[in-house]
């Protein structure tokens, strides 16, 4: 399985995909679409991600879900781990919530389940990225080599502002994190202005539909081709469509290989 573009064969990993249990998948997907006022292309069911991604040539998927209540953390993490066991192509991130009190204990459980980092969506979870109570979590994740994937940016609110992530990086300059959506959804210029760091990655998800190829390249080149990951934000967008948008950026074979797979493989030690 591979992606073929202009006669060149590439391996590809989707570094940003959401999945939900069957009983809530339609409602959860619809709620995300309503929050962003964007029609969702699919329903966030694991088998649909696997089928559509595989058909598009993708062979690794970073899967996650968001806990809006602390009581959801354990069940979501077990669900993600179960789906990773069912689909070996899946690599799971753990859910987290700002009200977790046993930081080390829950991170122990996440690692015992084979999950490879954590996912946070400050806008859905209603906390500021640079909340003092979260610094301990970020520091402990860094000590354990667990990347934190943030939804970053939304000019309608301030929870996930790139400036708030920059505040964290001032305290933890080696913090290993992924600032999704080219560093800040609808705040792409702000992200370029304030975010930088040797361990800051970005992904391409939920941005290429809204920015020009020139602006997308500007963001990628600010953070570095070596620190950029391809992502779809499934089920918001389909793997096939996001690959087409990515290739429209016009990068050459070497850059495409890094963004589509090599950077992901390095980050998650594949």
Judged against a pLDDT cut of 80, whether residue 72 lies above it is answered with yes
Query: Residue 232 has what pLDDT?
Result: 98
Query: Residue 6 has what pLDDT?
Result: 95
Which region, left, alpha or beta, applies to residue 12 given φ > 0 means left and ψ of -120 to 50 means alpha? beta
pTM (predicted TM-score): 0.96
CB count, 10 Å around CB of 170?
A: 10
Summarised one tens digit per residue, pLDDT across range 105-146 is: 999 999 999 999 999 999 999 999 999 999 999 999 999 999
Summarised one tens digit per residue, pLDDT across range 100-112 is: 999 999 999 999 9
Question: Residue 252 phi/psi, 5° resolution?
Answer: -85, 180
Query: Residue 25 has what pLDDT?
Result: 86
Judged against a pLDDT cut of 90, whether residue 40 lies above it is answered with no
The Cα–Cα gap between 158 and 167 comes to 13
Pair 202, 228: CB distance under 8 Å? yes
The Cα–Cα gap between 194 and 215 comes to 16
CATH number at residue 216: 3.20.20.140
Query: Residue 63 has what pLDDT?
Result: 98
- Give me the domain span that covers residue 125: 3-267
Task: Give the chain's domain count.
Answer: 1
Query: Residue 124 has what pLDDT?
Result: 95
Query: Residue 45 has what pLDDT?
Result: 96
Picking from 64, 69, 66, the residue whose alpha carbon sits closest to that of residue 113 is: 64
Query: Residue 103 has what pLDDT?
Result: 98
Query: Residue 196 has what pLDDT?
Result: 86
Cis peptide bond upstream of 235, omega within 30: yes
The Cα–Cα gap between 97 and 144 comes to 18
Q: What pLDDT band is residue 207 in, cutting at 50, 70 and 90?
A: very high
């Amino acid at each position: 399985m591979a992606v073929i573009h202009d006669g060149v064969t590439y391996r590809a990993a989707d570094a940003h995909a959401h999945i939900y249990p069957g009983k809530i998948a339609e409602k959860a997907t619809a709620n995300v679409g309503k929050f962003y006022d964007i029609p969702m292309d699919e329903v966030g069911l694991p088998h649909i991600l696997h089928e559509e991604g595989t058909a598009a040539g993708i062979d690794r998927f970073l899967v996650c879900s968001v806990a809006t209540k602390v009581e959801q953390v354990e069940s979501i993490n077990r669900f993600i781990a179960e789906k990773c066991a069912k689909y070996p192509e899946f690599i799971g991130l753990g859910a987290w919530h700002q009200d977790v009190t046993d930081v080390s204990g829950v991170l122990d459980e996440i690692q015992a389940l084979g999950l490879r980092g954590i996912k946070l969506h400050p806008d859905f979870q209603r906390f500021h990225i640079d909340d003092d109570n979260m610094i301990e979590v970020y520091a402990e994740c860094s000590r354990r080599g667990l990347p934190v994937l943030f939804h970053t940016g939304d000019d309608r609110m301030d929870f996930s502002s790139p400036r708030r992530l920059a505040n964290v990086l001032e305290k933890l300059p080696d913090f290993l994190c992924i600032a999704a959506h080219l560093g800040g959804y609808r705040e792409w210029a702000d992200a370029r202005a304030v975010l930088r760091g040797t361990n800051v990655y970005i992904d391409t998800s939920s941005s290429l539909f809204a920015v020009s190829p020139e602006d997308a390249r500007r963001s990628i080149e600010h953070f570095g081709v070596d620190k950029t990951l391809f992502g779809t934000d499934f089920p918001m967008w389909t793997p096939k469509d996001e690959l087409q948008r990515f290739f429209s950026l016009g990068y050459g074979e070497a850059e495409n290989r890094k963004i589509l797979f090599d950077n992901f493989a390095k980050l998650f030690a594949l």
